[in-house]
């Protein structure tokens, strides 16, 4: 499934299981999730932040600049 960047209102990053995170993109009234290993999160957030301004990360997740 493909979602256009301009259709994404915000992105939420939440813990998922032990070493994984769920990246949820909100588009309209629907949420789309991507589950990935936490060690990939910084790379993914760098990519997403170039396209989406409203990103919320669960405070329990360590994100390195």
Q: Name the 3-class secondary structure at 16.
A: strand
pLDDT digits (tens, 9 = 90+) for 39-54: 999 999 999 999 999 9
> What is the pLDDT at residue 63?
80
- Predicted model pTM: 0.85
Contact 22, 33 (CB under 8 A): yes
Residues 6+ apart with CB under 8 A from 61: 13, 14, 15, 21, 38, 41
From CA 2, how far away is CA 18, in angstroms rounded?
28
From CA 64, how far away is CA 45, in angstroms rounded?
10
């Amino acid at each position: 499934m493909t979602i256009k960047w301009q259709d994404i209102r915000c992105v939420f990053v939440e813990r998922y299981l032990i070493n994984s995170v769920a990246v949820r993109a909100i588009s309209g009234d629907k949420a789309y999730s991507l589950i990935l290993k936490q060690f990939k999160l910084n790379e993914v957030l760098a990519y997403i932040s170039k396209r989406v301004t409203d990103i919320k990360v669960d405070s329990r997740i360590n994100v390195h600049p």
